[in-house]
A and B are shown apart, each in its own frame.
Chain A
């Protein structure tokens, strides 16, 4: 028995502080991303989700330059970016991609400058890679309360708005006809999206955060016919991919060539990708 567990969990897995933080933070982030992501896919706002992730690069690199934790920078820039997208007109179907693209371009231009300044003056090697692709094992245990707080905030928005948000995702006309303030609901949802993406960006990297947001949600949409169940399934797929990714990354340290662990983000994103492909086969068969 212990031989089996020993083969699966490399030595020191359960006693490692970094692993424990990764499991907790990764679990919270995956649940939040999955729940929020179901609505992102239903509302056709995947591009906004992707853009908010990318924009996090600007906040993350700014935070590095200022010497504070990257999460603060990412959350701040994403909330501001979501507000600007809202103002430019993300809620008009035709203005949607435009608003997202314009804000994305401006933010990434700023990120180019910040990352340049960082590598020139502060010489923090690997900052860019850490921000873009994440490093779950480098998260400080002190971030856990903040992650939990932001995660609960995003989930609370989605839970509170559940019915109006669901109907306006089905049809804005039907929602508006019932007296639902569609614009306010959309704006609050965008705030939840910004928080969820910021958390995912800090965990698996700004440009990979979409995978955690969209992948489990899109898979869940294929597997279930009910909106509430889709949220639960998306959260479960996200958590499973995240935890298995952490385990594989930890174990990969002992894989040949010895002594160089593979990045967690790689495993998480690949697992999500394969589960999505697999779900396509399942839903086609049924």
Chain B
């Protein structure tokens, strides 16, 4: 694994918030063109980890390298799509305008309209399949459509790393699948490293190259075959968990006879899948 060209290297990051250790020695790396899932239950520290990578959250230990260098304050090479994006429907902002802001929103003054600028925005809108609703107000779009526009906004600056915080939350099954397929295409075709946080891994399993599994502030990373195993996750959780493969879906559940500490940051996700859909696992069966 040492030969992998790394775009992002998170090195033994620890973060304390209000006296509580939210992240403890989190360590992983991401290569260009890879799609990585950052999986963990609510409160596991996913958003905090994103804030660290973006340089918005100071760490108590460790460091983050982008392309082998310490992250500079402004990092146009990182695109970011936040969690729970709620825009007022009355906001006078077309999908096109939001993508355009992605080019140079950090600059002072008003952007000069130009043919090159319009073409770039249009190219990005088409690339994410948002061409049909480019003229509509962003606040009027559906959740899946908004995700596409936000992805275009994040991509238009040609970042090498794309971070998406819970992009599948609040999306219905079909919209979620479309967004996942789009993100996989972005990773493969543009060579962008994509890091997606999610509290459920199943929708990402078909496309995920690597997984960073976060629980109780600690993380294990690797391929899904390496990480999603009863012994590995049991050690991470500090209590016995089973990894079940049911009709092609992976379920991480607290082991039999171990009913304590089921909830909260230290507990496994429990029966995670509520969508009732099957996702075919890539490769051999996962688990012990």
Contact between B92 and A230, CB atoms less than 8 A apart: yes
- In contact, A163 and B75 (Cβ under 8 angstroms): no
Q: Which residue of B has the minimal Cβ distance to A162?
A: B110
Tell me, in angstroms, the Cα distance from A177 to B88 when the chains sit together: 21
For chain B, residues 57 to 76, give those with C-beta under 8 angstroms from any C-beta of chain A. 73-76
Q: In this complex, which of A160, A167, A174, A180 has the most chain B Cβ atoms within 10 angstroms of its Cβ?
A: A174
A226 touching B74, Cβ below 8 Å: no
B196-210 CB contacts (< 8 Å) to partner A: none
Q: Kindly state the separation between the CA atoms of A160 and B153 in the bound complex, as whole angstroms.
A: 22
Chain A nearest CB from B239 CB (Å) reads: 34
A225 within 8 A of B: yes
Question: What are the residues of chain A within 8 A of B169 when measuring CB–CB?
Answer: none
Which stretch from A95-103, A216-224, A250-258 is at the chain B interface? A216-224
Could you tell me the dominant secondary structure of chain B's interface residues?
loop
A180 to B55, CA, bound (A): 12
Tell me the chain A residues, 162-193 only, with Cβ under 8 Å from chain B: 162-164, 166-167, 170-171, 173-180
Which of B100-108, B175-183, B242-250 is the interface stretch?
B100-108
Q: Which of B76, B85, B110 is most buried by chain A, counting CB atoms within 10 A of its CB?
A: B110
A226 touching B92 by the CB < 8 A rule?
A: yes
CB distance from A15 to the nearest CB of B (A): 40
Cβ–Cβ contact B106 & A160, under 8 A:
no
Q: How far is the CA of A167 from the CA of B150 in the complex (A)?
A: 12
Asked whether any CB of chain B lies closer than 8 Å to the CB of A229, the reply is: yes
Q: Cβ of A163 and Cβ of B82 under 8 Å apart?
A: no
Q: Determine if A240 is an interface residue (Cβ-Cβ < 8 Å).
A: no
Q: Which residues of B contact A221 (CB under 8 A)?
A: 90-92
Contact, CB under 8 Å: B105 / A227: no
Q: Is A112 an interface residue (CB 8 A)?
A: no
B residues neighboring A (CB under 8 Å): 54-56, 73-76, 78, 80, 82, 85, 87-88, 90-94, 97-98, 101, 104-111, 135-137, 153
A residues at B contact (CB < 8 Å)? 38, 42, 159-164, 166-167, 170-171, 173-180, 220-222, 224-230
